[in-house]
């Protein structure tokens, strides 16, 4: 049975059962993603990392399999799958390259926001090309002075006739300067209800970009500031109504948190498998490392925690697909747990490799660098704890 947490009554048993086995269709999707990632991503991931290469052609190949609009509607050109299927796909892609899989996750989130909240004209204009990745997209919420406190964003959009004129900047934007579509949260009024969602197309006058950031990881995706200097955007680019932007952004993040958690599991799984192979092949003190009980226990803990993280990701996915009232808190739980566990597992995998784990050619350090940021983006893990605590304490303490 699924457990649900309600603010007015503690733990209660859900009313439906869960089959922990994937369906035949889900297994086929998993194998499709695994085959693609092993063929089109894994052999090149180290080079992408080393040369900071954005593999745009590979991403279009992924889109041809439906991975550019996984949970966008079929009539808009998407695959029409659920959030559970999305997490299965992202785990498999991230097993080859967490950095590239994470960009694809962000693109999917932005494309879904246009598909879900845009009007018919906007959907016809953008969604099909987003799903095919003829258009690539970025999600623009974070600002230099508005990170965890996203509702304090200051980028302003002033109405001027049939246009909005935008001034301000966004920080740490994946795909900055490369993406074709920027789904931006901008201030049109006061407070949370004064935030609106605008699509800004690359090439729009007044749209600019900062330098490419030099990052610890995520080298296969460009990251820069997005800058608006009297950037004039048609009112017809408004997604939803004025004031809907913060709600749209948060709904997008629910799925984004599941996806990034799945990416973390995929990367950590690869690191764990490499460590398992290494301790069986490596001999010290006249015996394979795998014969030492201390290391056996470490491997046992690593795989147990990965399995637990995957179950929580899938539970959150199911709740989000079903529209359950506690879906947001489960997405926060899943993201917090999966990203923390995955980084820990990857760090342990590096330790089990000894000095070899610190070398580029073994690949574990690349995964470690890529996974570290997952504990920060899509809402820091500290903010995930705030969401969870507020949910469980709301009725008693009115927090």
Domain count across the chain = 3
Q: Which of 245, 271, 292 is the last residue of a domain?
A: 245
Short-list 130, 208, 137, CA closest to 166: 208
Question: What is the mean predicted confidence (pLDDT) over 353-362?
Answer: 97
- The string of pLDDT tens digits covering residues 251-281 is 999 999 999 999 999 999 999 999 999 999 9
241 and 256 housed in the same domain: no
372 and 273 housed in the same domain: yes
57 and 162 housed in the same domain: no
Q: Which of 245, 271, 297 is the last residue of a domain?
A: 245
Short-list 30, 83, 23, 22, CA closest to 269: 30
186 and 217 housed in the same domain: yes
C-alpha 75/C-alpha 340 separation (Å) is 37
- Active-site positions read 378
- pLDDT at 222 > cutoff 90: yes
Task: Kindly state the tokens that stand for 276.
Answer: 């398992």
289 and 154 housed in the same domain: no
- The string of pLDDT tens digits covering residues 26-57 is 999 999 999 999 999 999 999 999 999 999 99
On whether the pTM is more than 0.75, the answer is: yes
223 and 349 housed in the same domain: no
- pLDDT at 208 > cutoff 60: yes
Q: Which of 107, 136, 165 is the last residue of a domain?
A: 136
212 and 175 housed in the same domain: yes
303 and 354 housed in the same domain: yes
Asked whether the beta carbons of 175 and 213 are under 8 A apart, the reply is no
CATH classification at residue 304: 1.20.140.10
97 and 182 housed in the same domain: no
Domain interval for residue 44: 3-136
CATH classification at residue 13: 1.10.540.10
99 and 183 housed in the same domain: no
- pLDDT at 135 > cutoff 70: yes
Question: What is the mean predicted confidence (pLDDT) over 240-253?
Answer: 97
- The string of pLDDT tens digits covering residues 124-133 is 999 999 999 9
E strand intervals along the chain: 3-6, 10-13, 137-140, 156-160, 163-174, 181-187, 195-201, 207-209, 223-234, 238-239, 283-284, 287-288
**pLDDT at residue number 103:** 98
63 and 80 housed in the same domain: yes
């Amino acid at each position: 049975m699924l457990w649900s947490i309600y603010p007015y009554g503690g733990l209660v048993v859900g009313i439906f059962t869960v089959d922990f086995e994937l369906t035949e269709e889900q297994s086929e999707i998993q194998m499709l993603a695994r085959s693609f990632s092993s063929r089109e991503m894994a052999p090149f991931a180290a080079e992408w990392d080393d040369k900071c290469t954005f593999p745009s052609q590979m991403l279009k190949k992924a889109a041809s399999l439906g991975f550019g609009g996984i949970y966008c509607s079929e009539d808009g050109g998407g695959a029409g799958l659920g959030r559970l299927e999305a997490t299965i796909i992202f785990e498999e892609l991230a097993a080859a390259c967490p950095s590239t899989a994470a960009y694809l996750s962000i693109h999917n989130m932005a494309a879904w926001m246009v598909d879900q909240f845009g009007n018919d004209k906007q959907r016809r204009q953008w969604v099909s090309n987003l799903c095919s990745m003829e258009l690539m997209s970025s999600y623009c919420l974070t600002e230099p002075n508005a990170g965890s406190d996203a509702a304090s964003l200051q980028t302003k959009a002033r109405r001027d006739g049939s246009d909005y004129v935008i001034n301000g900047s966004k920080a740490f934007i994946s795909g900055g300067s490369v993406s074709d579509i920027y789904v931006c949260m901008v201030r049109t009024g006061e407070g949370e209800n004064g935030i609106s969602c605008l699509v800004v197309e690359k090439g729009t006058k007044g749209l600019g970009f900062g330098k490419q950031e030099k990052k610890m990881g995520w080298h296969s995706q460009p990251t820069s500031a997005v800058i608006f200097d009297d950037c004039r955007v048609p009112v017809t680019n408004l997604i939803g109504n004025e004031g809907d932007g913060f709600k749209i952004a948060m709904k997008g993040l629910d799925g984004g948190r599941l996806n990034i958690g799945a990416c973390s599991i995929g990367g950590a799984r690869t690191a764990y498998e490499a460590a398992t192979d290494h301790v069986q092949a490596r001999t010290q003190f006249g015996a394979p490392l795998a014969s030492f009980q201390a290391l056996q226990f470490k491997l046992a803990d690593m795989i147990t925690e990965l399995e637990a993280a995957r179950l929580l990701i899938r539970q959150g996915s199911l709740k989000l697909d079903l529209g359950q009232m506690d879906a947001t808190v489960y997405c926060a739980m899943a993201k917090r747990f999966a990203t923390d566990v995955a980084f820990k597992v990857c760090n342990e995998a590096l330790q089990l490799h000894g000095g070899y784990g610190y070398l580029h050619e073994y690949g574990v350090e690349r995964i470690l660098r890529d996974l570290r940021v997952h504990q920060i983006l899509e809402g820091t893990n500290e903010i995930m704890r705030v969401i969870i605590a507020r949910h469980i304490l709301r009725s008693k303490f009115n927090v």
